[in-house]
Chain A
Amino acid sequence: MDQKITGRAYVLGANIDTDQIIPAEHLVYSLSDPEESRNYGRFALSGVPPALAGLPEGHIPFTEGDRWRSSFNIIVAGNNFGCGSSREHAPFALQKAGVRAVIAPSYARIFYRNAVDGGFVIPYESEEDLSDLIATGDQLELDTAANRLYNSTQGKSHALRPLGDVGPIIAAGGLFAYARQQGMIAT
């Protein structure tokens, strides 16, 4: 895990469910085929109603036109991010689009597990709901050692909750890497 993650914010509201992160009709693509799996980046967050896509203004497509990756790489959202289905395609799609971290006050359990165990994106919990305090396009710097988020566009800094028990799994790069480090499975 890099100590510093920098990038542009893409801001969403509360209760972003997995159908909004990756609509069910796109779940048919292979996750392993490098060509085909690029579709996940292309359709990431395509289920978010346009008016709520890229707050506060909205109507900002996450992945533009027929591109495969997004120009935004840190997601800032409200409560209960990733609720809904168990599809691991959701954090995978975000990673494919180029997202490194999500910052939200709370997550649905399965999304959180998938993000951590698959090593796709870092699900950081913020102390307060930052979705009204940060604007889409703001330049952010995430300091994973200090558990702080700096918003250089607005000159503000926000506290994040330490990763806790799952920190070692994230640091290892996912569940399998962690289990190998611990000698739980053969290398």
Chain B
Amino acid sequence: MPAMTITEKILAKAAGKTVVTPGENIWIKVDTLMTHDVCGPPTFQIWQKEFGENAAIWDREKVVMFPDHYIFTEDPHANRNVRILREFARDRQLPNYYDVQSERYKGVCHIALAEEGYNLPGTVLIGTDSHSCTSGAFGLFSTGVGNTDAAFILGTGTIWEKVPASMRFTFEGESPPYVTAKDMILQILGDIGTDGATYRAMEFDGSAVQALSMDERMTLTNMAIEAGGMNGIIAADEKTEAYVKARSNAPYELFRSDGDARYRASYRYDVAAMEPLVAKPHSPDNRDTVRAVRGTPLTKAYIGSCTGGKLSDFRMAASILINQKVSVPTFVVPGSTGVARLLELETYKGIVLREILEDAGCVIARSSCAACLGGPADTIGRSVDQDVVISTTNRNFPGRMGSKKSEVYLASALTVAASAVNGHITDPRDFM
């Protein structure tokens, strides 16, 4: 058998083949289809139109729906989308729906997928969201598609994919406390650009990746799409298995790349030599060191989203914000209700995280995508006019967080917290 990468092995299995080669178009079986309030309604509409009013969904257990994008708003169109999701789940008896008006409400889909045990190693997860690549942190193939592809899956459980060539990103060395997964992925983005991995699998490995928590691994795979990557992937290990087993009884399969598997390109980094980074406006690959832009005046800070709204991010923020005050409006948006709950339980130096963040003057919002994608005009934390924002989110294209005139810097939660205190971009090492 020819040597294969982890991505190739999972795709081969899903295609019912023993071998697949990059560039080949294959039809694969899907294990999980995820959708949300923005893309769910048009997906259902296409599905109904194409398969008929009374068509059956391929597998009701395998469809997972999280309202998360436009949640706490008065916008009538946005609320209609959530209603459509709710009615569809009810009418089609879909068990895996997490309604916003219920105890089950979760928040941002990519974090919720992990927390609810849907990220099963070795499986194929397709989502109607570009950051579906996040789930690859659990050693599975995951990628984003549009509504037509999702409607096709809803009816058939299958989809075509072009097998991607893999790129390998190896991180070795001992990570200093001020270097986070966000800095690691911004480093890569600066090196390869926003189209550096188009139609490629991005595989992350090395001792410094294994040392990361599952939260932090998800930050790496989350931003694979910012390089144009088809999927991001990290082979599952004991940490992954422990996380998954605590949340699911479903079977899974472990794959890893063969030692002599072929990569389109390989990059090696020594994390010990790295330092805090930002992506400057208006592109995630516009990398610079925090040192080089320190002092840039800010009008807002934002800690949230599927990239930077996990428990690990708020732990980092709290470690800086303890006994400090923010000097610009600072928004804290827990990625999920699960994360929000942990903010009340987890402590830093004996103080509950939520208290640290509140005492520092942060505004704590309810879990959702919130201003990560701008959203309706009444969205909390949305950028206005010529705001200059530092944010733990993943995109800073013009207008992404609201105002087209605003400027967004992307950084780790450490850097965002330190900058929020000073009101200008600040190296977190000044507080450590």
**A87-B146, A109-B199 are contacts. A23–B399 as well, Cβ < 8 Å?**
yes
Contact B195 A174 (CB under 8 A): no
Interface string of B134-172 (1 = CB under 8 A from A): 000000000011111100100110000010000000000
Tell me the bound Cα distance from A176 to B376 in angstroms: 33
Using CB atoms, name the residue of chain A closest to B197: A109
Chain A residues, Cβ within 8 Å of B376: 25, 28
Interface string of A129-154 (1 = CB under 8 A from B): 00000000000000000000000000
Chain A residues, Cβ within 8 Å of B375: 24-25
Which bucket holds chain A's interface residue count?
Answer: 35 or more
Of the stretches B75-83, B301-309, B311-319, B321-329, the one at the interface is B75-83
**A109-B228, A114-B148 are contacts. A87–B195 as well, Cβ < 8 Å?**
no
Of the stretches B37-45, B88-96, B349-357, the one at the interface is B37-45
A85 adjacent to chain B (CB < 8 Å) = yes
Tell me the bound Cα distance from A94 to B41 in angstroms: 20
For window 68-123 of chain A, which residues contact chain B by CB distance below 8 Å? 79-80, 83-89, 106-110, 113-114, 117-118
Contact A114 B374 (CB under 8 A): no
Chain A residues, Cβ within 8 Å of B132: 86
Which bucket holds chain B's interface residue count?
Answer: 35 or more
B123 adjacent to chain A (CB < 8 Å) = no
Contact A113 B81 (CB under 8 A): no
For window 192-213 of chain B, which residues contact chain A by CB distance below 8 Å? 194-195, 198-199
Tell me the bound Cα distance from A186 to B12 in angstroms: 26
**A86-B144, A86-B146, A185-B156 are contacts. A20–B198 as well, Cβ < 8 Å?**
no
Contact B39 A86 (CB under 8 A): yes
Interface string of A1-45 (1 = CB under 8 A from B): 000000000000001010110011101111110000000000000
Contact of A176 among B127, B148, B230, B397 (CB under 8 A): B148
Contact of A185 among B38, B80, B146, B155 (CB under 8 A): B155
B297 adjacent to chain A (CB < 8 Å) = no
Contact B228 A108 (CB under 8 A): yes
Contact A108 B144 (CB under 8 A): no
Residues of B within 8 A of A (CB): 25, 38-39, 41-42, 45, 49-51, 70, 75, 77-78, 80-81, 127-130, 132, 144-149, 152, 155-156, 162, 194-195, 198-199, 228, 230, 283, 373-377, 395, 397-400, 404
* 27 residue pairs A–B, Cβ–Cβ below 8 Å: A15-B194, A17-B397, A19-B374, A25-B376, A27-B38, A28-B81, A30-B41, A31-B42, A32-B45, A47-B404, A80-B228, A84-B130, A86-B145, A88-B42, A106-B198, A108-B228, A109-B230, A110-B145, A113-B146, A113-B149, A117-B149, A117-B152, A118-B148, A165-B162, A174-B148, A175-B149, A179-B152
